[in-house]
Structure 1
Amino acid sequence: MDGSKDSRWCANGGGRPQWLQLEFDKPQSLTGAKIVWESNAPIYPHKLETSTDGKKWTVVADTTNSPKGGDTTHSFTAKDAKYLKLTVGGTPGTGWVSVREISVTGDGIKSIAAKGTAKENAVEKKDGARRPMRPPMKMTSPPRSSNSPPSRKPKCSRT
């Protein structure tokens, strides 16, 4: 997502299912995806779906009935994908889903790191800093549940 395995996305709670959705600025032809989970030990039963409009989804990979531990690589073909959604149906124990990196393959795809804010991009341009490429993509996930106690500390955090 950002080209670094030192950062991660973590779900907003322990409820199931948990999901992460990527939106590309323009439709992409995808041929596969690799998911690097926070830990190699847990088994994350999950599915990947693509969509051209964010409403009608097509399952392109599904491990919900045969999950395996460790990072996951999927090969598939999806033309004109505007969205890619990862949905995780369960985690070991009460853990929250935590993803270190999602990378996709396909014609013309170099990286899917999230875009920086206007301020971040201006700083990069000004100081010439070398940061991960900011290709056209944004991420969304479900909002925090209203019944989650505010004092509860997350079991994972962005590092």
Structure 2
Amino acid sequence: MKIAIGCDEAAYSLKKIIIDHLSNRDDVELKDFGAEAGEVVLYPDVAKVVAEAVASGEFERGILVCGTGIGMCITANKIPGIRAAVCHDPFSTERSRKSNNAQIMCMGERVIGPELAKYLVDIWLKCDFAGGGSTPKVNRINEIDAEYKK
């Protein structure tokens, strides 16, 4: 699975932890679009690049981290075709994939610790869209999204 990852300076440490956590997996290929050590960036710029890379199909999924995960999520969801979710607990993380088919998970370094973040990444990567009763809802999200594409 090809994954785009990005962060601002508020979550540089968490990004590195996630990259280290995933580096041993043969089934994951990561590309880092985030801030480097000591670099100050605007999180909307990072979220835009990662979301566009996922929306284009170059990457299957994306992981965005900032102070809270909220700003990254808001920005990523501005990109047509993207469904991003803030993932700070196991149940919501699982449902973001199984019910909402989110392609981007967002987390906040100031909200969750490193062990929980790694656990949530593992949950998120193993989950696929379950379809069923959620299919008409995700289809409707896609229809609304298409109404606003330029």
TM-score (structure 1 length as normaliser): 0.30
Name the one with the larger strand percent.
1
Q: Give the number of the structure with larger relative contact order, counting CA–CA contacts within 8 Å between residues 6 or more apart.
A: 1
Name the one with the larger helix percent.
2
